[in-house]
Amino acid sequence: MPVLSIVACEILEDELVYVLSKDPEIKRLFVVENRNSFRFIKKLKYENLKPFTFSSDKLYPTISEINRESLGSFVRKFSNIPLCKKISDLIFNKEKKQELTVVVNLLRKALHSDIDLLQSEVYLNAKEMSKISNGILLFYGKCGFSSEKVQAELQQLDCPVYFLRDDGRNVVDDCISIALGGNEIYTKTMLSGNSKGAIYATPMVLSDLNETNYKSSESYKKISKYLNSPMYSLLFKINNPDYKDVNFHRNASEFAKIFNMDIINVNGTMKIAINSYMEAKTDIYKNL
C-alpha cells in the first residue's frame, strides 16, 4: 500500500482537513502527535476521520513494520502457487492503487518568525519521513523551501517531493496565495488595496484571537509593533464556505477594531489544496 507523507504548516490545517475528508481511498491515516496536532486531530474527528496518533519516534518504525508485515504475509501465502500468485498479483496491485496510507506531520506556525529555522525544520522532517514514504507533499508556500540549498537537499531525498501549485503550474508564494487560488489572484487582490498596507486573514491566521488575554500574548506583541502604524489600514478577510471556524467573523471584526482597519471581504477556494494533493497521489500510483 503506497504511503503519501505530508509536511504541513499549522496555518494550513483547515485546507488539509478538507482535502483528507474528501478522499475515500485513504485506508490508514497517521498523525505525528505533538503540541501542534491536538486541534488538527479534533477537526479530523469532526469530519468522521479516525487518525492513528504516535510520537514521531514511534510512528515511523510502526509504519515500516506494517508495510513489511503486509508484504511478507502476501508473499508467504502465494509463493508456492504459481497460477494463484499471478492472479493475486493483479488483484493485489489493483487494491494497492485503490488504497492509500497518509502520514501527516504538522509544524507550528510560530516557525515563520525565523525563516532559516522554518526551512531547516521542513527539510529535516521531510528527510525523516522519506524513509517510509512513496512521496512527500509539502503543504507550504515558498516560505518553507525558498533557499536554493533546501531545494537541492529536498531533491536528494529517497522519494519524490511535491509542492502546492496554482493553475499556471507556479509554486504558490505563501498560505494566502493558497487560500485565494494562486499567485496571480493574490497579486490582483494586493493591487486592489491601492497601495495601502494590508493583512490577509483566514481562520488560522487569526486563530490566536481564540485565546484568552490576546493582548498579552507573544503573537500580539510581535505584530503590534508594525500593525499600529497608520499605513496598515486594510484587513482582507478571505471567506470560504469550507472553513468551519465559528469564531472567524468575530475574530476578524475584533482584529480590525484593535488595529483600526477596514475589512474587505474576498472569496477563497480549496482548489490549490485539493488539486495539488490529487496530483501527488496520482503520481505516486503511477510510479508504483
Does residue 259 belong to any structural domain of this protein? yes
Does residue 177 belong to any structural domain of this protein? no
Q: Among the residues of 173-270, which ranges form H helices?
A: 175-180, 183-191, 218-227, 248-258
Regarding whether 261 and 197 lie in a shared domain, the answer is yes
Contact indicator for 260, 174 with CB cutoff of 8 Å: no
Helix 82-98 / helix 56-78 crossing angle, nearest 10 deg: 150
Regarding whether 196 and 129 lie in a shared domain, the answer is no
Provide the domain limits for residue 186. 182-267
Regarding whether 226 and 162 lie in a shared domain, the answer is no
Regarding whether 139 and 103 lie in a shared domain, the answer is yes
Q: What is the CATH number of the domain that holds 34?
A: 3.40.50
- The whole-angstrom separation of Cα 152 and Cα 13 is 26
C-alpha cell read off for 179: 487560500
Regarding whether 134 and 36 lie in a shared domain, the answer is yes
- pLDDT tens series, the chain, 288 aa: 899 999 999 999 999 999 999 999 999 999 999 888 999 999 999 999 999 999 988 988 888 888 776 544 444 454 555 554 554 454 445 544 468 999 999 999 989 889 999 999 999 999 999 999 999 999 999 999 998 999 999 999 989 999 999 999 999 999 999 999 999 999 999 999 988 999 999 999 999 988 878 888 888 888 888 898 889 999 999 999 999 999 999 999 999 999 999 999 999 999 999 999 999 999 999 988
Kindly give, in sequence order, each residue whose CB lies less than 8 Å from that of residue 201, ignoring residues fewer than 6 positions away: 235, 236, 237, 238, 251, 252, 255
Regarding whether 152 and 194 lie in a shared domain, the answer is no
